[in-house]
């Protein structure tokens, strides 16, 4: 099924590669298809991706650091009115399971390239009377989230985004959003020790994704430094081993229990593990 893959506008060279690597991990890498954005610019955050099963789309969307969300699009257009007409044509059997009675939902309106005022957001939501929402609104614990995403015309944001997109509306059901809670959890400012080469968690988690690190993997970092990559790999449930090329930063500046030691988190037993090679993406 085709989904809208809404990327974060950062690390542009690695966005699709990360998703492809996660698809390989999910076992559907060879079946993934991409459709170039409407504006025809590969730097656009709005790509369509064909993923065989929704469960795979959920797994990919939740793990990818550079994906804001994955959506089943019910309608799109250059204006809200055009988008609304497309929604009305969407198959009822695809809509009803998520709008029927005894369900809870919420609608989110957001902009890319330009903020949308609270008044504008409510205006769009109140105009959705043609969608037969029979469930109850739940802001905090909604079963289903519906998103209206408005991509701004470059002329309305002082040309900051160049020609990477054109004004366009997307409306659909949220299938998955990335779990970026690991970013503040492992933020460098929260670390007990860091060095001049410490890597921020977004990059280290992205690198682990691109190399297929998962629970039970074995990750060896021969230039461990302050252990940024191993922190991310360990969070994913991998067995990690770190060795210094020279005197490790962790040994010089780390807590007493690490000083002068090689970082190792590996049970002493015989087993076979999938091995991941994680290297600097630059």
Q: Please check whether residues 30 and 66 belong to one and the same domain.
A: yes
Q: Please check whether residues 264 and 125 belong to one and the same domain.
A: no
Q: Please check whether residues 186 and 123 belong to one and the same domain.
A: no
Asked whether 6 and 149 are in contact (CB, 8 A), the reply is yes
Whether residue 281 is contained in a domain is answered as no
Q: E-assigned strands of 99-142?
A: 104-112, 136-137
Task: Convert the pLDDT of each residue in 68-106 to its tens digit.
Answer: 999 999 999 999 999 999 999 999 999 999 999 999 999
State the distance between the two ends of the chain, measured CA to CA, in whole angstroms.
Answer: 33
Q: Please check whether residues 50 and 152 belong to one and the same domain.
A: yes
Whether residue 255 is contained in a domain is answered as yes
Q: Please check whether residues 120 and 154 belong to one and the same domain.
A: yes
Whether residue 145 is contained in a domain is answered as yes
Query: Of 126, 151, 177, at which residue does a domain stop?
Result: 177
Which is more confidently placed, 248 or 153?
Answer: 153
pTM of the model: 0.84
Asked whether 227 and 186 are in contact (CB, 8 A), the reply is no
Q: How far apart are CA 263 and CA 242, in angstroms?
A: 5
Sheet (strand 168-177) strand order: 33-35, 46-50, 2-7, 67-77, 168-177, 144-151, 104-112, 136-137
Q: Please check whether residues 205 and 235 belong to one and the same domain.
A: yes
Q: How far apart are CA 41 and CA 241, in angstroms?
A: 41
Task: Convert the pLDDT of each residue in 8-30 to its tens digit.
Answer: 988 999 999 999 999 999 999 99
The total domain count for the chain is 2
Sign of CA dihedral 216, 23, 18, 45: negative
Q: Please check whether residues 126 and 169 belong to one and the same domain.
A: yes
Instruction: Tell me: pLDDT of 251 over 60.
Output: no
Q: Please check whether residues 139 and 197 belong to one and the same domain.
A: no
Q: Domain of residue 265: give its range.
A: 182-276
State residue 258's pLDDT score.
41
Q: How far apart are CA 128 and CA 171, in angstroms?
A: 11
Tell me, what CATH number does 134's domain have? 3.30.2130.30
Q: Please check whether residues 103 and 120 belong to one and the same domain.
A: yes
Whether residue 189 is contained in a domain is answered as yes
Task: Convert the pLDDT of each residue in 174-213 to its tens digit.
Answer: 999 998 898 998 888 877 766 777 888 899 999 999 999 9
State residue 159's pLDDT score.
53
Whether residue 7 is contained in a domain is answered as yes
State residue 122's pLDDT score.
96
Whether residue 282 is contained in a domain is answered as no
Which CA distances in Å does 3 have to 50, 56, 172? 6, 12, 10
Asked whether 209 and 95 are in contact (CB, 8 A), the reply is no
Query: Of 155, 177, 199, at which residue does a domain stop?
Result: 177
State residue 41's pLDDT score.
83
Asked whether 257 and 223 are in contact (CB, 8 A), the reply is no
Q: Please check whether residues 143 and 255 belong to one and the same domain.
A: no
Q: How many CB atoms lie within 10 A of CB 121?
A: 17
């Amino acid at each position: 099924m085709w989904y809208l893959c809404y990327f974060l506008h950062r690390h542009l060279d690695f966005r699709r590669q990360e998703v492809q690597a996660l698809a390989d991990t999910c076992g559907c890498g060879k079946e993934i298809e991409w459709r170039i954005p409407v504006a025809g610019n590969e730097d656009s955050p709005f790509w369509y991706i064909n993923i065989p099963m929704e469960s795979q789309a959920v797994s990919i969307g939740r793990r990818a650091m550079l994906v804001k969300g994955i959506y089943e699009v019910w309608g799109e257009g250059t204006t809200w009115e055009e988008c609304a007409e497309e929604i009305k044509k969407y198959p009822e059997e695809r809509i009803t399971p998520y709008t029927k009675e005894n369900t809870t939902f919420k609608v989110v309106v957001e902009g890319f390239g330009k903020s949308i005022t609270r008044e504008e957001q409510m205006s769009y939501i109140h105009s959705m009377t043609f969608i037969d929402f029979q469930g109850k609104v739940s802001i905090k614990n909604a079963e289903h989230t519906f998103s209206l995403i408005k991509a701004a015309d470059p002329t309305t944001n002082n040309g900051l985004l160049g020609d990477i997109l054109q004004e366009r509306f997307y409306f659909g059901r949220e299938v998955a959003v990335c779990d970026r809670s690991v970013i503040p959890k492992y933020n460098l400012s929260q670390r007990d020790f860091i060095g001049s080469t410490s890597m921020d968690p977004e990059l280290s988690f992205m690198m682990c994704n691109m190399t297929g690190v998962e629970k039970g993997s074995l990750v060896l970092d021969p230039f461990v430094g302050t252990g940024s990559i191993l922190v991310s790999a360990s969070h994913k449930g991998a067995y990690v081993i770190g060795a210094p090329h020279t005197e490790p930063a962790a040994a010089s500046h780390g807590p007493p229990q690490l000083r002068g030691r090689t970082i190792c988190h590996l049970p002493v037993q015989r087993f076979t593990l999938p091995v991941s090679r994680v290297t600097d993406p630059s």
